[in-house]
Structures are given as structure tokens and as C-alpha cells.
Amino acid sequence: MSINTNTLQEKNAGFGTAPVFFTAISTILGAIMFLRFGYAVGNVGLLGTFGIILIGHAVTIPTAMAIAEIATNQKVEGGGEYYIISRSFGLVIGSTIGIALYFSQAISVAFYIMAFAEAFTSLFNWLIANYHIPSFVEYLMGMKQTVSIPALFLLTAVVLTKGADLGVKMLYLVVATLFFAMIAFFVGGTYVEANGVIAETHPPVNWLATVDDPKSFFAVFAIIFPAFTGMTAGVGLSGDLKNPSRSIPLGTLAGTISGMIIYIFIAFKLASSASPEALADTDRLVMGDIAWQGYWLIPVGLAAATISSALGSLMVAPRTLQAIARDQILPNPTMNKWLSKGRGKNDEPFNASLITIGLAVIFILAGQIDFVAELISMFFMVTYGSLCLISFLQHFAGDPSYRPSFRSKWYLSLMGALACFGLMFLMNPMYAIFALIVLAGTYFGINSLNRDKRNLGVIFQGVIFQTSRRLQVFLQKADKEQSTGWRPAIICITKDSLQRISAFELLRWMSQKYGFGTYIHQIDGYLSKDAATSARKIKERLIREAEKSGSNVYIDTMVTPSTTSAIAQVMQFPGISGKANNLLLLEYSKLHSENLDDIIDNFNLIKAIDFDVMILGTSERGFGHRKEVHLWITSNDYENANLMILIAYIIIGHEDWKDGTIKIFALYPNHELENEKNRLQMLIETGRLPISPSNIELIARDETVDTRSIINEKSNDADLTILGFRADLIRHQGKTLFEGYDEIGNILFVNSAKQKEIK
């Protein structure tokens, strides 16, 4: 599918690196820092909090580096992270992750607005304590929605009317306010005991001190992790940036590393300025007790940090949804059109913003800040893991078009991806399973509605190519070491793919589990532009038909002036497995045997190379019920016997031949019957043949009776009959060697270049 990139790029892109950095750092130093970071120190101790910071950044730093790498390789347009993922993974996978990303961003709006309401708690408490407040007003003050819902609508009005331009300008004021609040916190000199009691002296820092009944490490980690997730917030502004490939790496990495350093100092300051009991008290804003002028500066800082984070999420989330809609991913065309619309010169995502606000209101009304924090963590983990996985796979894909000016390390990207998906289950297995179920359901829904878009295979396409290339080279080098067993590497050539499918079916069965199959459709003529176009269309048609059967056959077409030329070429084809092809499959119709004439005429050419040969004579009965395979073994073609047995064994191993049986007819002169019987019994007793002794019939050969009549009688109801033939008999008998079997169905003639060993 072609993408109209002009519609994805915002129309007045002019921002530099600063908005990316300030959006990231103001989101990182946000609600969790003020409301729950003390809770972390109180429950897991200072060393445990350092562990949370380091583990959290073991996810965020590789993700930031992965984003920086991907962003410097391509033009990152509107949609930010979604654009990166969808153009790397394909639209089906990309939009699946993009929708999860959108929900995490939209829920983040609710989370930050709820945290913003917490900033007014101390003010309301002071008003209630010092003034006579009516009971219903006091009740409203106790409800977080009293502040959060009006704040959401006010913030939305600002964003929708003034757009991202005003939002970015507000960031500078917000970051300045946050900076002063942080300075006040670090210069604060008080020590807070339990219940908010201010101590006169500072006890020494206890690196391991926790409350008496602390929460588990990963339970605390799940609540704290959103504190580190703001580093990609600036990526969502990609469509508004003058130079995204420069601004995104610089701003994102700077914000991530700066945030980690600040959090380490905050954790130490908290541990040295308050007891674990005071820190773990979620009803108090303990940072306000510690900071200089903290009773008003910290709530103002909290309000500034949370409103800036909410502002960033409210700018980013609708743009993600707008980009998804512009890719025509959603099930309803009208919905895609409505959500993709923008307003004003900056193409503001007005309609997508309305949906985002609606989702935010739902979660605000739920009112559980810790629940929302854990839910956000799950969806962010999925997104970050995907970004790291993209970077990791690109390191091994060997794609010459992947030339980022900034490169991460493959092991960092792998570590980030594994950390994301592992931490999901360590934090909360139920939420992790829920998130993955939602993701899987979204994928299958999008995939069923968007068959024309790039799919799951895009993820590993480059890696599979490189792995295949290296394996083929390895197998070729190892070919000098003789294999202990025979494995079919079959190449089939036919002109009649569109008339009958028996040859393809046989190739499919033999290459499904034990071997490799290449199917070549021969087109008579000389190579030209028109012939190549026709060949490509036929190839696409054959591939579509092959997909219906779930085959493992490699399909191609060949334009060639003659059958002789076609056979000469295919016998020189390299094997798709990396090892040379060893078995040629040809076919003809028993009713219209023109192809058989070509096979006879070119048989000397075929035998010029040590190829095993199968010639399939197809009938109107086809392969019947796929229940019985009959093998006819005679003294004239003993060299073919073992190959025939192996072919039959491989065929009935396919699920299409479920409950199928092999029946062997040994047609020998009377004096040789006993030896042949002993040989077959030995193979059965050693377990090398999946054949019941009752399915072996020994027939004494009568020179006065035509062998063909015996075969026609015994195999009249067989679904496939396998016969051996000698190459020298073709020179003497020609076409008649293959005739006279009109009373049986499909028949497979086998010629082995040399006798195979059944061990």
C-alpha cells in the first residue's frame, strides 16, 4: 500500500530540539515523583529505590537509544512512536502496537489530571481548617473529580483553540516552575518523622530502612515505573519539528539521562529527610514537609509538573490516533475520515482530541490513581519492547537502506526488549496477560480487516533473509561431509500448473516435513517485458493458491523457448535449502500424453547429471481418497526399490494421508521370492518400515503373463501406485514403457541414480 506522506507530516513544522527535551523532562519529573516516590523509598528502602531507578532505566535508556537510532534513519513524520513502529513492523503490527500506545497516552492524560487534583489537597485542608466551609462544599473538596474534570476541559480548550504552538510555549513556564520547586526541595533542611512530626535533628541515612510491613519490590516498581516513561513524550511532536532526525535523538536521550540523575538525588534526599513511615504515607505530600516554603511551592510544582505532563499527553495522543486513522486502519471508512481530519493551519487533530478527552473522563471518574499507573505501565512496556525489538532486528537484517547516523548496540536493544516483556509479568501477571490479550485481539481484528497491508512477516523479513543466507553458505561448505541419510531436495517443472495440480500436491507432501521443494511453472516463449509481466502474474496467482494449502513449496516461473532448455536450466538451479537439488519431478496426463514425448526426448539430458527422477502420470481420478499407496518391486529395478519405499513413507507422513497405508507387491521369479521375503521382513522387524507384514504380498512372476495386467488388477483401487523403471529401457521401449496402466489412478514412475540405503 502506498502512503501519502504529505498527509502525515504536520503542515507548519518549525520546532527545534528544546520542545522535545522539555516535553520529556517535564513528563519524567511529574506526578509519580511528587506523589509516590517517597512511597517507594519507604517500602523498599534507599537501595531498593536505586534498584528501581536502575531497572527502570534498563528499559528506558535502550528504548531512548532505539528511538534515536530509528529516527536518524528515516524521516519521522506525524504520529511519533506510531510512525516509527508502523513503518518498521508494517501497518498491521504497527497499528496494533500503535493502538496500545494510543490508549496508554490517553489514559496518561487522566492519570496526570488526577495527580494535578492532588496538588489542591493541602489548600483545601487549610481552607477547611481555618474557615467555616458548608458541608456540601467540603464534600466536593474531598472529591478529586471536583478539580480534575474542570481542569481537563480547561486544558483541552487551550490545546484545541491555541494548538501545539501555545502548548510548547506553556512548557517553558511549566519547566521554570518545576525547576524552582525542585530547588526548594533540595535546599529544605527539615526531617519528618511519622505522622508529619518535624524532628530537630537529622539521623544518619539508613540505606536499608523500610516500614514494618513493606510492599513487594515489583509491586512498588509497577506503581513507580510511569515516572520514567516520559522520555518518548517528545517523539509525538515529530510532525511539528523542523528536523526530527536531529531533535528526537538529542532531546530524548538528554531528557532520559537527566531524569535518571535527578531521581537518584531525589531518592537520597527523601531517605535523608524523612522516616520510612512518613515517606510511605500516601495521604501526605511529604516533599512539601521537607522543602523550603514547601507548603505552597511543592503543590505549585506538583500542579506545574502534572499539568505539563497532561498537556504533553494531550498533544501527543490525538496525533497518534490521527496518524492511525490516516493509514486507514480502523474498521469503518467514515471513522477513519472523521478522525483523520485536522483544523487550522497546523492541522490540529480536533476530532481525535474529542475521543481522547472522552477516554480520559472515564478513567478520571474511576478515581484510582495506583490502578491507572499500573495499567499505563503495561501498555508502555509493550511499546518500549517493540521499539527495542525493531532496533535489535535491524542490526541483523543487513538492510542496506538502514543507515542511521546514530547507532545503538544490538545487545542493549535486546536487553531492553527482554526487560520490557519480562518486567510486565514480574509487576503484575494478571495485568500483563490482560494487556497481551487486548493486543492479540486487536491484531487479529486489524489483520482480518486489512488483508492488503503489510503483515507479521515484515518484522522478521530482513533477519530471516540474513539467517537463510548464512545457513545456505554453511550448508554448502558442509556438503563435503557425507550425510548419513537421504533427504529429498526436489525440483518440479511443468507447463500445466493451471490445468492440474497433482504434481504440486505430490511436491507439497514430500517437502512438508522431510525435504525441500521448488515448483517451476514453464512458460513457452522468449524472455521479453510482456513475457516477464505475464510470468509475474502467474507466479502471484500460484502463490495465492499455494497459500490455501499451507504448503512449504517455493514457487517460481520460467520463460523458456523449449522443454530441453527448461530442463537444462532447472537441473542447474541451486537448492533453496543451501544443498544441491537431487530429485527431478516431471508430469504428464495419461489422457493427453504430449508432455511424455518431451520427457522421453530429453531423458538422456536428464540422466547426464546424477539426479533421481520421478515421472507422475496423472489421471482423472487424481489421488482418490488418499488412503492406499501401492509399491511394485521387481527384480528388474532393484536399485529403485529403496527410493520408492522412502518416497512412499514420506508421502503417508503428511496429514493429508492420515491413516494411510503402504502396501508392497514384490513381483519376482519364483526362485528369488524367498530372498526378497527375508529382506523385507528384516526391514520391518528392525522398525525401519511403517508397514504391516500383512500389507506385503509376494507374487511369483509368470513369464507368460503381462506384468501390466497384474498391476492393473491388484492396484485398481489404489490412490497412488509407485513403479520403478530403468533408464536403459527408455532407450529401447520409449513411450510404451509408461503406457498400459489405464485401469489405475495416478501412477508415479521412479528412477534412482544409485541405490539408496535404508538404515
pLDDT digits (tens, 9 = 90+) for 71-93: 777 666 666 678 777 777 778 87
Using the structure block, give the residue that is written with the C-alpha cell 496494533: 96
Protein fold of 483-614: Rossmann fold (3.40.50)
The 10 Å Cβ neighbour count of residue 626 is 19
Contacts for 64 with CB less than 8 Å, ≥ 6 apart: 231, 232, 252, 253, 255, 256
Q: Is there a common fold for 13-457 and 619-759?
A: no
pLDDT tens digit string along 191-217? 898 877 888 778 888 899 999 889 989
For residue 617, give the nearest of 592, 588, 596, 647 by alpha carbon.
588
- Give the confidence band of 613 by pLDDT, cuts at 50, 70, 90: very high
Which value, to the nearest 10 degrees, does the dihedral of the CA atoms of residues 538, 539, 544, 550 take? 140
pLDDT at 249 over 60: yes
The model's pLDDT over 284-318, given as tens digits with 9 standing for 90+, comes to 888 988 999 888 888 888 888 787 778 777 878 88
696, β-bridge pairs: 664
State which of 182-191, 363-372, 510-519 shows the largest mean pLDDT: 182-191
Q: What is the pLDDT of residues 534-569, one digit of tens each?
A: 999 999 998 888 888 878 888 999 999 988 998 898
Q: If DSSP codes are grouped into helix, strand and coil, which group holds residue 482? A: coil
pLDDT of residue 2: 37
Specify whether domain 619-759 bears CATH 3.40.50.850: no
Distances in Å between the Cα of 324 and the Cα atoms of 85, 96, 442 are 11, 10, 13
Residue ranges covered by each domain of the chain: 13-457, 483-614, 619-759
Query: pTM here?
Result: 0.62
Asked which of 43-47, 229-233, 315-319, 321-325 is least confident by mean pLDDT, the reply is 229-233
Residue with cell 539467517: 467
Percentage of the chain modeled with pLDDT above 90: 18
Strands 612-618 and 747-751: antiparallel
pLDDT tens digits, 444-492: 888 777 765 555 555 566 666 667 666 666 666 665 545 556 788 899 9
Closest to 382 (Cα-Cα) out of 337, 427, 412: 427
Closest CA to 640 of 545, 748, 744: 748
> Cα-atom radius of gyration of the chain, to the nearest Å?
36
Kindly provide the residue ranges of all beta strands, DSSP E only, lying in 463-611, ordered along the sequence. 489-494, 516-524, 553-560, 583-589
Q: Enter the C-alpha cell of residue 383.
A: 511499546
40 band by pLDDT with thresholds 50, 70 and 90: very high
Range 357-366 average pLDDT: 84
Is pLDDT of 621 > 60?
yes
Judge whether residue 675 has pLDDT over 60: yes
User: Quick one: fold of 13-457?
Assistant: Amino acid/polyamine transporter I (1.20.1740)
